[in-house]
Structure 1
Amino acid sequence: MTSEQLDRILVFSPIFEQPSNSLYEVRPEVSVIDPYVYAPEVDQFIQTLYQEDFLSPFDWIAWSSEADTYVENPSRIKGVDLETLKKLFTCHVRTERFRSGHLAQMIENGHIGAMLKRLAVIRSEMEEISPD
């Protein structure tokens, strides 16, 4: 991953610092199966993750129990590497496809914001190693 790719993802960090209720709505009249309607910024964020090849092709279902340990113990996020962050984002985006509202829950509990904060630290460490 390049620093430019990470920068394009990190542009979205402030969005996940605002109150989460502005990032999605639950509208059962739209769909009983998938009642979560995300703000355009959330959709753009997910699209950017795809565009920057941040979502990893791997067996995310088999790894989902590992991902759960990061949700259950948020302090673990502070020590993860870039590959683990990619796996976590992949798990959450893919899980949303099968479990409507999963991303809303991850936004609500601060997990997405915490992952972006860790990504910012990793990005700053890249800067220290090889300044642009």
Structure 2
Amino acid sequence: TAVDACRYMGALIMGAVNGAEKDELLSERYYPISGGWWDDNPLEPEVDEVSTGSFKRREPPEIRGRGYVVASLEAALWAFHNSDSFEEGCLLAVNLGEDADTTGAIYGQLAGAFYGEGGIPEHWRRRLAHRLLIEHFAERLHHLGRTVDWEKLLEFLPIFERLGFVPGAGKDPSESSGVGAGQEMVRFMKTLYTAGAIYPFDWSKWHDEAGRFFHDPTLLESADEMTLRRLLTYHARVDYFNQGHLDEMIEAGHITRVLRVLRELKTG
């Protein structure tokens, strides 16, 4: 149960640091990668009940921060759901009483990832013990988390070329509809996250920009690394709401073109 609570919490934090909106984070059985992850890797029933929104349907005294992992997780999410700021939610969490520090710690992880450092009241931060040490560790973790393993992504370039996912070719009828091709698409989506390629920015305002790169190959060829990262992030995030979008981009050869430009940047 504790491990599954951590699995679910990890998914929420991963989504929060990568710019997911609160409604999306708190949607039923949220996972930052589309494709029914929890169907293939199910949560323990008590944790699954929380992931389906038990914290939205209950109020104190049913919501209790009593220290048990499921109850504490549910209480922290209840506070996050019923607040509009880090401070408001934190006070809701700890004022449930009982094992208040546990509830507050769980809430703080998710809310901190969602609201960012600037969302934590300055008068709270000023009184934080060992603040400089904590900030140092946070900066190092952030740096490590933002270091992109581009080599992992470039491993897909020869795979997509072999499958016929190249500009102007469309998908190869003999292979692209097969199980192997589908598995490679799913693996690519997961690698975007595990390789650290997803960049936290407001991708919802990038529709026109992404469209220009799709329709103008010469524009894409002059793109820098950060632009390519934003482009990959955009398609991954759109795919969450419009499942199959990334597959279409792969089959159209657009992602292959992006990877080719990336390879040129990396090899000079």
TM-score strictly above 0.5: yes
The structure whose residues are more often strand, as a share, is 1
What secondary structure sits across from 1:48 in the alignment? Answer: helix
Contact 2:185/2:247, CA 8 A, preserved across alignment: no
Question: Does residue 1:112 correspond to 2:255, yes or no?
Answer: yes
Equivalent position of 1:40 in the other structure: 183
Moved more, 6-15 or 79-88: 6-15
Which amino acid is 1:105 matched to?
E
Equivalent-residue separation in structure 2 for 1:23 and 1:64 (angstroms): 26
Q: Select which of 129, 150, 156 maps to 1:6.
A: 150
Equivalent-residue separation in structure 2 for 1:69 and 1:24 (angstroms): 28
**Aligned Cα RMSD in Å?**
2.0
Equivalent-residue separation in structure 2 for 1:105 and 1:8 (angstroms): 21
Q: Percent identity?
A: 35
Which amino acid is 2:152 matched to?
R
TM value normalised by structure 1: 0.75
Query: After the TM superposition, which residues 27-106 of structure 1 pair with which residues of structure 2 at under 5 Å, given as runs?
Result: 39-106=182-249
Shift of 1:24: 4.8
Equivalent-residue separation in structure 2 for 1:108 and 1:43 (angstroms): 13
Q: Which has the higher contact order (CA 8 A, sep 6+)?
A: 1
Structure 1: where are the runs of 5+ without partners?
Answer: 26-37, 126-132
Shift of 1:72: 1.4
Equivalent-residue separation in structure 2 for 1:12 and 1:108 (angstroms): 13
Aligned residues: 112
TM value normalised by structure 2: 0.39
Q: Structure 1's 96 and 23: CA in aligned 2 closer, same or farther, altered over 3 A? A: farther
